[in-house]
Amino acid sequence: MSTLTSKPSLADGARRFWRSIFVIARRDFGAILFSRSFIFFLLGPLFPVFVVAMAGGIGASVSGKISKPTLGIAMESGETDAFLAARDRLAGSVAHLPDTYVVIRLKPGEKILARSALNRAKDGSPVVALLTGTLDQPKLTGPGGTVDMWEGPVALIAAEAQRGGATQLPTVTMDKTVSARADTARKRIRTAQASQTLLFLLTMLLAGMVMSNMVEEKANKIIEVLAAAVPMDAVFYGKLIAMLGVSLVGLSVWGAVGLTIMMLGGGIPTFAAPAVGWPMFVLLGLVYFSFAYLLLGSLFLTIGGLAATVREVQTLSMPATMLQLLVFFFASYSLGAMGEPIELGAIFFPLTSPYAMLARAAVVPDLLPHVGALIWQVLCVALIIKGGSTLFRKTVMKSGPAVTRSGWLGKLRKGSDRDRKPA
């Protein structure tokens, strides 16, 4: 009587694969979370605080590049040309003169609604105030701080622009708006910079654990036992998920302690509301932190798998740190070129994609690009893990083609000949 055996289905194989991932992740998560070294791990954020000061220089440069105030001029063509020529004559001798302009040339008798023109400006527009009226009766419309700063210089330029020069400075009418979209965009840029810096610090602090953990288990021969029981891909996925879980636990502890310290120290720093809103921005922040960790962690897992000793890991830690710094600097620089090819390159490059997209969420309200970016990051994580596990099997586990019968007999004869030789 014969028994029928059916081949395992694709669904059964997938279930076994995910079950293996869960077993590895649960094992590593429990071993790390309940170890004594986890307490020292929680103290880790005290050391890279100096990076905040280093990032401040780039942040100020990017903010200055993006938020350079621009004056919009909406006057008749002749008066506009006279105003610009007078400004060039006074350049270098008068402080706080507007440096850049957006010119709208009006026809004789044509009027423009300054507030409506500012409200129609797109997010990220450099125009912070609008000059209308005539040279005799100029009018500034914009946020209070900006029009106050430009009141004197505009009156001086208008007097210089009048034919033969004016005997006295004209009175500048000021229409102070509560806020302008350009002002909001500048504040959102600061939110984007702060979120990028925080994401970098957390990723730099946490991703290095993956490399050392892999070397430890290689030295203790644990990885060989795991590789014999489950697929190598599942081992890599399980370890990454476990480390991500440990990182999220640490993140929760640090967040609670940080909020407590800030509240006791005088309050929480305020940032402009991101374009997507705070709830969605926090959610995207957690998601992009997870993918930044998984992308860099999968790369470090591959490097740790190829390292033979802890000393090699220490040697590789410096290039790994430099890699993280270059990733952060590239993503920070792309923030100053929103919509340009350099930003698209930062979004497409896997390691900088989470940083660039999180900054974009603070400035641009569209959510659809995040869906495509997350799909791309998932694919990149899968490709890096697949390549890393394959490389680990071929170089470390020495997994290759099966030995043939003749090859096996040949090795057996060589072993017998060695045993017969006299000592």
pLDDT tens digits for range 360-415: 999 888 899 999 999 999 999 999 999 888 888 777 666 544 444 454 345 445 54
Residue closest to 242 by CA, chosen among 279, 283, 287, 209: 209
Query: Which amino acid is present at 18?
Result: W
- CB contact set of 233 (below 8 Å; sequence gap of 6+): 17, 385, 386, 389
Q: What's the maximum distance between 2 C-alpha atoms anywhere in the chain?
A: 119
Cα separation, 231 vs 237, whole angstroms? 10
Kindly write down the DSSP assignment for every residue of 343-364, as one continuous string.
HHHHHHSTTTHHHHHHHHHHH-
Contact between 330 and 346 (Cβ < 8 Å): yes
Three-state DSSP class for 139?
strand
Give the DSSP per-residue string, 160-217: HHSTT--SSPPPPEEEEES--HHHHHHHHHHHHHHHHHHHHHHHHHHHHHHHHHHHHH
pLDDT at position 401 is 46
C-alpha–C-alpha distance, residues 263 and 242, integer Å: 32
Is 195:282 a contact under the CB 8 Å cutoff? no
DSSP labels, 306-333: H--SHHHHHHHHHHHHHHHHHHHHHHHH
Burial class (CB in 10 A: 0-12, 13-18, 19+), 98: buried
Instruction: Assign residue 165 a region (left: φ > 0; alpha: ψ between -120 and 50; beta: otherwise).
Output: left
Where along the chain do its domains lie?
15-62+184-395, 69-179
Looking at residue 302, its pLDDT comes to 79
Q: Which residues of the chain have pLDDT under 70?
A: 1-8, 44-69, 92, 94-96, 99, 120-126, 145, 163-167, 178-183, 215, 219-221, 261-262, 264-270, 307-310, 313-314, 317, 396-423
Tell me how crowded residue 364 is: count the other CB atoms within 10 A of its CB.
20
Q: Do residues 296 and 207 touch, judged by C-beta distance below 8 A? A: yes
* Cβ burial 5-36 (10 Å sphere, 16+ → b, else e): eeeeeeeeeeeeeeebbeebbeebbeebeeee
Q: Which residues contact 245 (CB under 8 A, 6 or more apart)?
A: 25, 29
**What pLDDT shows up at residue 419?**
46
Identify the H or E element spanning 8.
none
Task: For residue 67, give the 3-state DSSP assignment.
Answer: coil
21 contacts: CB under 8 Å, gap ≥ 6? 234, 237, 238, 241
Two structure tokens written together for 386 = 């697949």
Q: Please give the span between the terminal C-alpha atoms of the chain, in angstroms, as a whole number.
A: 57
Cβ atoms < 10 Å from Cβ of 1: 2
Q: What is the dihedral of CA 61, 65, 67, 70, to 10 degrees?
A: 140
Helix 368-395 with 232-264: angle, nearest 10 deg: 130
Q: To the nearest 10°, the Cα dihedral for 281, 282, 284, 289?
A: 140
